């Protein structure tokens, strides 16, 4: 009977512990990989949302009266989220109230809230690019207003706010 116990084959306790430790290390590495992949996917999702919000603001601006916006940008550099006057602030003079028919719609376009996150949008006139178009005597200068649409997400946990910039043109009704 003693000979039979000596001939039994199997794993020793040390071999089992070594295998468990190796599997634990591999699983921890894979867990961190999937965690990083998930955070990267979430960041891309947020960036996609901000690009779509910028495109929406640009599309809204394109649907407004070109001449009115051109005149506005000749005297002002941008339309920012801080400049928007809501209906609650009627005593505050709106320097762009002549740009749109309904100021509340512009307020919603420049201050959207998606999935419980409030974004802020700024539409900035690219005066230098417009001057270049005029200098080369391009007919496009009469039909295009170059703008930069900047979307900012709120700051999270003390980190810098995410920002996305989309460049585009507000086109004249004559070429739409």
Instruction: Convert the pLDDT of each residue in 59-99 to its tens digit.
Output: 999 998 899 888 888 887 777 655 545 445 444 445 667 77
Residue stretches of the chain with pLDDT short of 70: 1-8, 80-96, 176
Q: For residue 3, tell me if it sits in a domain.
A: no
Q: For residue 45, tell me if it sits in a domain.
A: yes
Picking from 120, 130, 128, the residue whose alpha carbon sits closest to that of residue 80 is 120
Number of Cβ atoms within 10 Å of the Cβ of 8: 6
Domain count, the chain: 1
Q: For residue 5, tell me if it sits in a domain.
A: no
**In this structure, are residues 78 and 123 in contact, taking their beta carbons and an 8 Å threshold?**
yes
Q: For residue 1, tell me if it sits in a domain.
A: no
Task: Give the pLDDT confidence score for residue 59 in this predicted structure.
Answer: 94
Q: For residue 7, tell me if it sits in a domain.
A: no
74 exposure class (CB count in 10 Å sphere: 0-12, 13-18, 19+): exposed
d(CA 135, CA 74): 17
**In this structure, are residues 148 and 129 in contact, taking their beta carbons and an 8 Å threshold?**
no
Q: For residue 66, tell me if it sits in a domain.
A: yes
Task: Give the pLDDT confidence score for residue 92 in this predicted structure.
Answer: 41
Residue 44 bridge partners (DSSP): none
What's the predicted TM-score (pTM) here?
0.75
Task: Give the pLDDT confidence score for residue 43 in this predicted structure.
Answer: 87
Task: Give the pLDDT confidence score for residue 18 in this predicted structure.
Answer: 96
Picking from 98, 92, 52, the residue whose alpha carbon sits closest to that of residue 75 is 98
Domain that holds residue 54: 12-175
- DSSP secondary structure string for all residues of 47-97: HHHHHHHHHHHHHHHHTS-HHHHHHHHHH-SEE-GGG---GGGTTSPPTTT
Residue 144 bridge partners (DSSP): 171
Q: For residue 2, tell me if it sits in a domain.
A: no
d(CA 8, CA 41): 52
Q: For residue 107, tell me if it sits in a domain.
A: yes
d(CA 85, CA 127): 25
Strand order of the sheet with strand 120-125?
78-79, 120-125, 144-152, 163-171
């Amino acid at each position: 009977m003693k000979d039979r116990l000596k001939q039994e084959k199997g794993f020793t306790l040390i071999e089992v512990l070594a295998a468990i430790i190796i599997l634990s290390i591999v699983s921890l590495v894979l867990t961190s990989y999937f965690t990083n992949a998930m955070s990267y996917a979430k960041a891309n999702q947020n960036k996609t949302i901000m690009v779509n919000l910028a495109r929406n603001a640009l599309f809204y601006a394109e649907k407004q009266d070109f001449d009115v916006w051109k005149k506005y940008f000749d005297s002002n550099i941008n339309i920012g989220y801080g400049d928007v006057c809501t209906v609650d602030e009627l005593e505050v003079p709106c320097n762009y109230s002549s740009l749109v028919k309904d100021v509340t719609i512009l307020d919603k376009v420049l201050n959207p809230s998606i999935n419980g996150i409030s974004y802020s949008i700024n539409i900035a006139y690219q005066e230098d690019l417009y001057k270049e178009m005029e200098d080369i005597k391009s007919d496009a200068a009469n039909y295009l207003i170059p703008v930069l649409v900047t979307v900012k997400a709120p700051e999270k946990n003390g980190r810098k706010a995410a920002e996305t910039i989309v460049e585009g043109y507000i086109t004249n009704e004559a070429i739409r």
